[in-house]
A and B are shown apart, each in its own frame.
Chain A
Amino acid sequence: MPPMPPLNWGLLPPSFLMPSSTRSLLPLIPLSAAPSHTTVRTIKSVNTPRPDRFAHHPKKPALNSTSRAALARKALTTPLRTGLLAQKRGMTAVFDPETGRRTACTVLQLDRNEVVAHKTRDKNGYWAVQVGAGHKSIDNTTKPMLGHFAVAGVEPKRWVMEFKVKGKEGLGVGVGEHVGASWFSVGQWVDVKGISRGMGFEGGMKRHGFSGQPASHGQSLMHRGMGSAGGSQGSGSRVLPGKRMAGNMGNESVTVKNLKVLQVDEANGIVVVNGCVPGPKNQIIKVQDAMSKPWPAGPMKLADISPAALAESTEAAATPA
C-alpha cells in the first residue's frame, strides 16, 4: 500500500467541495507553514534488528565454528610429525635381560613408505602428510592415481593414507622421499590404528558379552538369545535407540593408544611394539606418535636420521654422560 498523503488539518477542503458562498473566502485563509517533521506514515518493526551470527566483530569473542578454531582445538592432540604405514606380521615376546620381565609384543614391518603429497592449510584447509606404502602394478592403477604418483616421483603405492600434523614444520619429509623404520626410536610411545578382524554377524553374547540364558530349568530352545529388548506399555512400548543387539562384529577401525616401541630395525623395516594390535596378520596399520604422551624429540626430517646425524646425536648423548 502506498504511503498515504499527508493530511493537513489546517487546510480547507478543495474549493469545489465548499459551498459556493464560502468560495470567495478561499484566498483569505492563509496557507499553513510546511510541517517540521516527516510525515510519512507506514508500518515499522518494534524489534531492533539482530546482528548476523556469522559476521564476526573484532570486539566480540572469537568464533568457535570456524576451521581456524577447529584446528586450534585440535592443536594439542595433533602430532608434530607424520606417522608411517606398517603391516602387522605376527606376535612374539621379548625378555628384559636385567629384570627378566617378559613382554608380549607385535612385530610390524614397514614396506617402502614414501611421501606422496603434502596437504597444506592454504590449499586444503589443514596440515597433513600423505604417505604411500607397498607396491601396486601400473596395470592395476587408474590413470588419475598414476598421475598423482608420477608428480610425486614415486612408484604406484598399494596403500595411501594421510597423517595429520600440527603445522608446517610437520612437513619436514619432502614429497617423494623414503622413510624407514628409524623414523621411530626405541622407548617412544605410539598409537596404532587398523581395521579389526571381521567376525561377521554375531549374537549378543559374543558381540556385547550378554549372559545368555539358562541351560536348563525348563528353558526351551532359547539359550544364547539376548532376552528382553525393553519394557512394554509404561516404558514406552518401543526399543530404545542404541539398544545393543546381535549384528555385524569387527571389521571396524580400532585405535590402540600408547604402545611402547621395543625394537627398531632399519635394515629389515621392523618396528616392534608391546602388546597387541588390531587386525589379522598382514593388516595395514597406521603408526603415529602417541597423542596422550609428550611428543618425542624424534626426527622431523630425513636429514635427522641420516647415518651422520645419528652418529652425532649418539656422540652428543654420550659426552654429557
Chain B
Amino acid sequence: MATAIVSAKAGVSQAILLAAKPPATAAKSIKGSKLVDAMHRSLYPHLYQQGGGSAPNRKIRQQMGTMKRYKQVEAEREARKVSWFRNKMRTSSSSKLAAQPQKPRAIRRTCHDPVAAVTSSQLAVHDPTGARTRLFDRANPECARVGDILLVRQRTGEPFAGVCINIRRRGVDTAILLRGQLTRVGIEMWYKVYSPLVEGIEVVQRAQRKARRARLTYMRKEKHDRGSVENVVRVYLRQKAALGSSDGTKKKGAAAAAAMAGGGKRKGNVKGKKGKKR
C-alpha cells in the first residue's frame, strides 16, 4: 500500500510536470496516471456514474454543488437522528410501549373544527328539525332577510314584531335585531335565534324588494323609520287564524293566503327556539 501511494504521488507529479512533453518521456507517466485514476475513481465513485470515462464527469461534479452536498449530508444526519431516537425508544422504554398499544392520533385529523362540533351539538338540541337554521340560511331562497317584518313568539311575555334590520350569523349564537314600536316609542330588540326562550319566529311580511344593505341602520332616522308594524301584524294574525288551526290546513292556507295577499309572501309554521333579549 505504501509503495502504491508513493508511486501514485510520483505519477501525479510526473503527469503534471510532463503533460506537455513529447511522448518519449510521457510513456513512463502513463502507467502512474492510470493508477491515480483508479484510486480517484474508487474514492469518489459518484463522480464517475455517467459516461464511464476515465476522467471525472465535470457535469456531475457541477450538479453535486456545495448546496446539494450539504443537503445530502443533512438528510443523512437526520436519518441517523430518527433511527437513533427509534432505537433509544425501543431499548429504554420497551415495557411502557408494550403497555400502550397504540399511539394517539393527531386530534386535528379527528376533529378539525371543534367549534363547529360544539355548534352542531347545540343545534341538535335547540333546533332538531333544522327549521330555524333554514329560515336564516342564505342558501334558502325563502329565508328571512333584512327588511322583512318578523314576529318573535316568546316563552314568557307577549310576542314582539318589528322590521328585521340586522342578522348576525354566528352559528348557535345567531341573532336578529328587530325594530318596532311600543307606546309610540321606537324599540330595538336583539333575539338569539336558537334560544329556548324564543318559541317561534314567523315572517309576517316580506320586504318589498331586496335591501341593498346588510344592516338597515338607516331606518333609525326619522326619514326612513317604518314606525309601528302593529297593523300589518294584526292583519297577518287575523288571516292566519281564519285559515285554520291544525297543522295541515295551516300549511295549505299559508300558501293560499300568500297568493291572496298578492305581494307579501308569508312563511308560517316556523318554530322558533328561543331568543335572548339584550
B132-176 contacts to A, CB under 8 A, are 155, 170-173
Contact A176 B115 (CB under 8 A): no
What residues of chain B lie closer than 8 Å to A270, measured between beta carbons? 111, 114, 117-118
**How many contacts between A and B, using CB within 8 angstroms?**
127
**Residue B249 interfacial (CB < 8 Å):** no
Q: Is B119 an interface residue (CB 8 A)?
A: yes
Q: How far is the CA of A153 from the CA of B94 in the complex (A)?
A: 8
Give the shortest distance, in Å, between B92 (CB) and chain A (any CB).
5
CB-based nearest A residue for B100 = A176
1/0 per residue, CB under 8 A from B, across A137-178: the answer is: 011000100110111110110000000000000000011111
Instruction: Given A89-B115, A263-B118, A269-B110, decide whether A100 and B81 contact each other with a Cβ distance below 8 A.
Output: no
| Residue on B nearest A142 in the bound complex, by CB | B81
Query: Are the C-beta atoms of A92 and B110 separated by less than 8 Å?
Result: no
Q: Which residues of A contact B218 (CB under 8 A)?
A: none
Contact of A143 among B81, B110, B122 (CB under 8 A): B81
Interface set, chain B 109-134, CB cutoff 8 A to A: 110-111, 113-115, 117-119, 121-122, 125-126
Within 8 Å of chain A (Cβ to Cβ): is B276?
yes
- Quick check: is A203 within 8 A (CB to CB) of the other chain? no
Q: Which of A40-69 contact B (CB under 8 A)?
A: none
With A95-B274, A97-B196 as given contacts, are A152 and B117 in contact (CB-CB < 8 Å)?
no
How would residues 247 to 267 of chain A score, 1 for a CB under 8 Å from any chain B CB and 0 otherwise?
000000000000000010101
Alpha-carbon distance A203/B188, docked complex (angstroms): 36
**Interface 1/0s, chain B 10-29, versus A by CB < 8 A?**
00000000000000000000
Produce 1/0 per residue, A85-105, CB < 8 A to B: 000011111111111101001
Q: Does A177 contact B100, Cβ atoms closer than 8 Å?
A: yes
Contact A109 B85 (CB under 8 A): no
CB atoms of A107 and B115 under 8 A apart:
yes
Interface residues of A in 167-196 (CB under 8 A from B): 174-178
CA distance A40 to B137 in the complex (A): 108
The size bracket of the interface on A is 35 or more
Residues of chain B contacted by A96 (CB below 8 angstroms)? 196
Query: Is residue B96 contacting chain A, with contact meaning CB distance below 8 A?
Result: yes
Q: Does B103 contact A (CB under 8 A)?
A: yes
Complex CA gap A267/B110 in Å reads 8
Cα distance, A272 to B172, chains bound together (Å): 15
A112, CB-defined interface residue at 8 Å: yes
Q: How far is the CB of B30 from chain A (nearest CB, A)?
A: 49
On whether A95 and B110 interact (CB within 8 A), knowing A147-B88, A150-B89, the answer reads: no
Q: Are B111 and A269 in contact, CB atoms less than 8 angstroms apart?
A: yes
How far is B125's CA from A34's CA once the two chains are assembled, in angstroms?
A: 109
Taking the complex as formed, is B192 at the interface, i.e. its CB lies under 8 A from any CB of chain A?
Answer: yes
Contact A95 B106 (CB under 8 A): no
Bound-state CA distance A291–B20 (Å) is 90
- B108 near A268 with CB under 8 A, answer no
Interface membership of A289, Cβ < 8 A: no
Q: Does B6 contact A (CB under 8 A)?
A: no
Closest approach, in angstroms, between the C-beta of A305 and any C-beta of chain B?
Answer: 14
B93 touching A150 by the CB < 8 A rule? yes
**A135 contacts partner chain B, Cβ-Cβ < 8 Å:** yes
Given contacts A89-B114, A97-B125, contact A153 B96 (CB under 8 A): yes
**Residue A284, interface by CB 8 Å:** no
Is B107 among interface residues, defined by CB-CB distance under 8 A? yes
Residue of A nearest to B93 (CB): A153
Q: Which residues of A contact B105 (CB under 8 A)?
A: 112
Instruction: State the CA gap A174–B100 with chains docked (Å).
Output: 11
Q: How far is the CA of A273 from the CA of B100 in the complex (A)?
A: 30
* B173 and A93 contacting across the interface, CB-CB below 8 Å: yes
Do A102 and B276 contact each other (CB < 8 Å), given the known contacts A114-B104, A178-B104? yes
Within the complex, the shortest CB–CB distance from B152 to chain A, in Å, comes to: 13
> Which residues does chain A contribute within 8 Å of B173, judged by CB atoms?
92-93
7 residue pairs bridging A and B, Cβ less than 8 Å apart: A89-B113, A95-B172, A151-B88, A153-B96, A267-B111, A269-B110, A269-B114
A109-B111, A270-B118 are known; give 5 further A-B pairs, CB within 8 A. A92-B171, A95-B194, A100-B196, A149-B85, A265-B117
Q: Which 3 A-B pairs have the closest CB atoms?
A: A153-B93, A268-B111, A100-B197
